């Protein structure tokens, strides 16, 4: 009987430790999600601003400036794509944590 109680206490302790770690991971994930959402909003605002600029001009200086804007726009697209991927990972993490909470 003593051995069963010892095993039970070890399982309870391990479960509490696991729950604590999962809650910490969820907390970090939620904070990450908030920061990423704010960053995405800022990047999309910049992207909208860039997309609303004038059509290409005819002089060399204007073309150079617009080329730089297109390069920035391309970089923003890559960043937004990466952020979307991170959001999907975050969603998967939340589902995993929810599932673990259900089975614990």
What are the extents of the domains in the chain?
A: 2-103
64-102: pLDDT as tens digits: 777 777 776 666 677 777 777 777 777 777 767 666 666
Contact between 64 and 6 under an 8 Å Cβ cutoff? The reply is no
- The pTM of this model reads 0.39
Neighbours of 56 (CB within 10 A): 12
Spatial distance between the Cα atoms of 84 and 71, rounded to a whole number of angstroms: 20
Question: pLDDT tens digits, residue range 36-48?
Answer: 888 888 888 888 8
Half-sphere exposure of 15 (CA within 13 A, CB side): 11
**Strand intervals (E) in the chain:** none
**CA-to-CA distance for 30 and 37, rounded, in angstroms?**
11
């Amino acid at each position: 009987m003593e051995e069963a109680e010892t095993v039970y206490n070890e399982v309870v302790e391990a479960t509490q430790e696991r729950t604590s770690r999962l809650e910490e991971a969820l907390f970090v994930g939620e904070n990450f999600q908030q920061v990423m959402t704010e960053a995405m909003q800022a990047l999309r605002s910049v992207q909208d601003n860039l997309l609303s600029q004038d059509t290409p001009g005819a002089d060399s200086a204007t073309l150079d400036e617009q080329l730089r804007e297109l390069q920035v726009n391309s970089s923003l697209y890559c960043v937004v794509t990466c952020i979307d991927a991170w959001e999907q990972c975050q969603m998967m993490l939340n589902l995993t944590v929810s599932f673990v909470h259900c089975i614990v």
